[in-house]
Structure 1
Amino acid sequence: MNNGISFLYLDENAMIKAGVKDMHKCIQTMEDMFLLLQEGDYRMGGEKGNEHGIRVSFPKESNIVGMPLHKPDYRFMAMPAYLGGRFKAFGIKSYGSNPANVQLGLPRSVLMMTLMDVCTGVPLAYMSANILSAMRTGATSGVGAKYLSVKNPKTVTIIGPGTVSRYSLYSFITLYPSIEKIKIKGRSKQGIDDFISYCKENFKIIKSYEICDKIEDACGDSDIVFFGTTNAANYEDNPTVQKEWLKAGSLVIGASALLVNTDFLSNEDVKVISDNYKMYEEWGEGQPLPTQKNVSTLLGMGFYDAVVQGKIRRDSITEIGEVLKGEKSGRDNDQQIILYAVGGMPIEDVAWGYDCYMNAVKNNIGTSLKLWDKPML
């Protein structure tokens, strides 16, 4: 019996060669993932199988020399998941995040993805995951835009012009060549300028850009409003959105910190759609409800908080998987405002990582690394 084990190592260039930046394909893969999610053919962390991931938190103060201290977006996480169907694979995305990385010429987050055989635990691949993660988030937003946006949207608002917003806009433009105007609200001139430069280089169909000082100005007359900001140091400093700022028929996608009022969520002209409500439910169970007027710093958690507070009914929340399976409608009319929560799930990483891995194997991309010829234990 040959007990030798090797796995495929895919650095960032190899991942690009393997098609990690193919947005059209990534959107299709996310649709496959959402269908399996709806069928229950998946597991994430926790006893109920719906946890986003496991986070290592640091104290705000410590008398231990060298102990890292808490600050916004400074975190280390492992995100394990199993996805069935045509994937039938287990994976773990791990990452460290530190906003100070940019001063070192590094991305804020450095991510890696491990794929394993779900029966034996044998590693299949170890891959660079920064682009993979950005793509799956962008494509997940894209699935929402595909099924929930008005037809032929022309104007997109970006709140927080960072990496996630770049790739989400990539998904919108992949789906809708009708998009011609981008409205931007950011925290720094440099960030806005970099975003516009990136768009001009990569998205030639965009005809005009409008920089807005206020979120309400940025939201006005937009067909798709995307929130991609990082968490603010203070809860109340996170961005918010109100119904009166939005035009009829707009789609609001929250992939990050976003304050939402319960009255907004319960408005009869507003429809709330979740990527996976059970994940927010698992996060929220046993946690104190927010005391502030706004319900949460994450749109999906806002859904959960509103249900617990009796502001909306659980059965009023539609899962995007239900829309894909035809079990429920997405957009009911052109006047309806839709709020779509994108919380980020490791099954997304498994799905897109698996497809990139299979493409790499098919096209002989990457480096084979030996684990052992024969296990010593």
Structure 2
Amino acid sequence: MSAKIDFLYLSEPDMIKAGVKDMAKCVEVMEDMMVTLKKGDYVMGGENHNSHGCMVTFPDNPEFEGMPKNGEDRRFMAMPAYLGGNFQMAGMKWYGSNTENKKAGLPRSILMMMLNDKDTGAPLALMSANLLSAYRTGAIPGVGAKYLARKDSKVAAIVGPGVMGKTSLAAFISVCPKLDTVKIKGRGQKSIDSFVEYVKKEFPQIKTIKVCETMEEAIKGSDIISTTTCVGDKEALFPYIDEAWIKEGALICMPSAARFDEKFYLDKNTKLVVDNYKLYEAWAEEYPYPSYDPVQIVGCKFMDLMHDKKITRDEIIDVTDVITGKLTGRDNDKQRIIYSVGGMPVEDIAWGETVYKRALELGIGVRLNLWEEPELH
């Protein structure tokens, strides 16, 4: 056997050629990944094997010259995982994030993905991961909409018209063919204009685009609501959504945080759904109660309510139980559903593996050599 190791480098243009922006396929892959996850054929980080990842943050006042200072979303994150099933792949997404990047014309987060042979650990691919991450993040709400949204859904509200808002809308449209209206609530005119241009270019089936001045205006009358906004560091500072604004039958997809009155969570006609219950168990172990403040994903609020004995475990539904037919998704057309999207490294593995295999088929990317023979072994 040869000890030579080559791996494939895929730039962002390479990733696009290999289909990273194929949202319909991404939704299909994420559904397969979630079923694999439910079977237990995966490993993520931490002793519980369900950790989101490992994060490096910085002090408010560093004592060492050159050490970064804490700032808005200033962090590094490593997200390792192994995923079995149809994927049989190990790897890690690694990124740095800093809101100040936008001033330099850079994305807030700059991401890379490494795929590794599950047995030897040898690198298989190093790929640009901004689009990979954005599309897998949007596809998870798409899986939720497929199983939880009303079939006659026509109006989608995007609260936070950034990258996640764009890919979430793409996923909604891929699974809800009757969508014809988009309502937008953003803070900056630049992001709103970019979003409007994106919708006009990508989705000619959308007949009405409405820019809203308030959260209330965006949410009222919407069948699917996506919240992807930056929030404060305490639940009391999260954007407020009044139950009275939410249409009967609405699906609220939340890869971010918001603040609801507690009675909305406890209402018998509100269903609480998560993308992977074990992820929220892991967060509850890793962060002190209440975990909703530091994690800022609404499924952690569900766990806090369960901690307070205000809801039971059975009232938190894992969406994969709906996919596999173990539980019903929507019980009736008036039921309002909150769907929590946490983000997991197995999602990056699944979509990364799919795009990598497609790149191999098409001969896309640059083959790089690690060694012909290892110097030490």
Does residue 215 in structure 1 map to residue 215 in structure 2? yes
- Partner residue in 1 for 2:158: 158
Report the more deviating stretch, 134-143 or 258-267: 258-267
- Partner residue in 2 for 1:268: 268
The answer as to whether partners of 1:273 and 1:319 remain within 8 angstroms in 2 is yes
- Percent identity, aligned pairs only? 48
Task: Give the TM-score, by structure 1 length.
Answer: 0.96
Inter-partner Cα distance in structure 1 for 2:191 and 2:315? 37
The answer as to whether partners of 1:262 and 1:295 remain within 8 angstroms in 2 is no
- Partner residue in 2 for 1:311: 310
- Partner residue in 1 for 2:360: 361
Shift of 1:288: 3.6
Q: What is the DSSP-based 3-state SS (H/G/I as helix, E as strand, rest coil) of the residue aligned with 1:285?
A: helix
Inter-partner Cα distance in structure 1 for 2:140 and 2:287? 27
The answer as to whether partners of 1:72 and 1:231 remain within 8 angstroms in 2 is no
Question: Residues 79, 376 of structure 1: CA spacing in aligned structure 2 closer, same or farther, 3 A cutoff?
Answer: same
Inter-partner Cα distance in structure 2 for 1:115 and 1:258? 34
Shift of 1:3: 0.7
The residue type paired with residue 115 of structure 1 is: L
- Partner residue in 2 for 1:283: 283
Shift of 1:213: 2.4
The answer as to whether partners of 1:296 and 1:305 remain within 8 angstroms in 2 is no
Q: Give RMSD over aligned pairs.
A: 1.7
1:35-82 deviation digits (Å, cap 9, x = unpaired): 011111111111111111100011111222222111221111000011
1:256-306 deviation digits (Å, cap 9, x = unpaired): 1222443221110000110012212211226443499x9973211111111
- Partner residue in 1 for 2:369: 370
The answer as to whether partners of 2:228 and 2:254 remain within 8 angstroms in 1 is yes
The answer as to whether partners of 1:44 and 1:52 remain within 8 angstroms in 2 is yes
Inter-partner Cα distance in structure 2 for 1:290 and 1:26? 33
The answer as to whether partners of 1:262 and 1:306 remain within 8 angstroms in 2 is no
The answer as to whether partners of 1:290 and 1:296 remain within 8 angstroms in 2 is no
1:312-331 deviation digits (Å, cap 9, x = unpaired): 11111110111111111111
Inter-partner Cα distance in structure 2 for 1:242 and 1:267? 13
Q: What is the DSSP-based 3-state SS (H/G/I as helix, E as strand, rest coil) of the residue aligned with 2:187?
A: coil
Structure-to-structure mapping, 1:283-302, within 5 angstroms: 283-285=283-285, 287-290=287-290, 297-302=296-301
Inter-partner Cα distance in structure 2 for 1:59 and 1:300? 28
Shift of 1:235: 5.1
Inter-partner Cα distance in structure 1 for 2:158 and 2:91? 31
Structure-to-structure mapping, 1:327-342, within 5 angstroms: 327-342=326-341
Inter-partner Cα distance in structure 1 for 2:295 and 2:46? 22
Inter-partner Cα distance in structure 1 for 2:228 and 2:298? 12
Task: Give the TM-score, by structure 2 length.
Answer: 0.96
Inter-partner Cα distance in structure 2 for 1:213 and 1:89? 45
- Partner residue in 2 for 1:320: 319
- Partner residue in 1 for 2:229: 229
Inter-partner Cα distance in structure 1 for 2:299 and 2:142? 17
Structure-to-structure mapping, 1:232-247, within 5 angstroms: 232=232, 236-247=236-247
The answer as to whether partners of 2:152 and 2:178 remain within 8 angstroms in 1 is yes
- Partner residue in 1 for 2:124: 124
Q: What is the DSSP-based 3-state SS (H/G/I as helix, E as strand, rest coil) of the residue aligned with 2:328?
A: coil
The answer as to whether partners of 1:259 and 1:298 remain within 8 angstroms in 2 is no
Does residue 33 in structure 1 map to residue 12 in structure 2? no
The answer as to whether partners of 2:73 and 2:99 remain within 8 angstroms in 1 is yes
Mark the runs of 5 or more structure 1 residues left unpaired by the alignment: none
Inter-partner Cα distance in structure 2 for 1:51 and 1:258? 23
The answer as to whether partners of 2:291 and 2:304 remain within 8 angstroms in 1 is no
Q: What is the DSSP-based 3-state SS (H/G/I as helix, E as strand, rest coil) of the residue aligned with 1:343?
A: coil
- Partner residue in 2 for 1:350: 349
Mark the runs of 5 or more structure 2 residues left unpaired by the alignment: none
Q: How many residues align?
A: 376
- Partner residue in 2 for 1:49: 49
Inter-partner Cα distance in structure 2 for 1:102 and 1:285? 34
The answer as to whether partners of 2:10 and 2:127 remain within 8 angstroms in 1 is yes
Question: Residues 103, 233 of structure 1: CA spacing in aligned structure 2 closer, same or farther, 3 A cutoff?
Answer: farther
Structure-to-structure mapping, 1:165-204, within 5 angstroms: 165-204=165-204
Inter-partner Cα distance in structure 1 for 2:38 and 2:87? 15
Inter-partner Cα distance in structure 2 for 1:155 and 1:268? 24
Inter-partner Cα distance in structure 2 for 1:126 and 1:356? 12
The answer as to whether partners of 2:142 and 2:171 remain within 8 angstroms in 1 is yes
Inter-partner Cα distance in structure 2 for 1:261 and 1:296? 19
The residue type paired with residue 344 of structure 1 is: G
Inter-partner Cα distance in structure 2 for 1:324 and 1:271? 16
The answer as to whether partners of 1:296 and 1:302 remain within 8 angstroms in 2 is no
The residue type paired with residue 200 of structure 1 is: K
The answer as to whether partners of 2:60 and 2:69 remain within 8 angstroms in 1 is yes
Question: Residues 256, 172 of structure 1: CA spacing in aligned structure 2 closer, same or farther, 3 A cutoff?
Answer: same
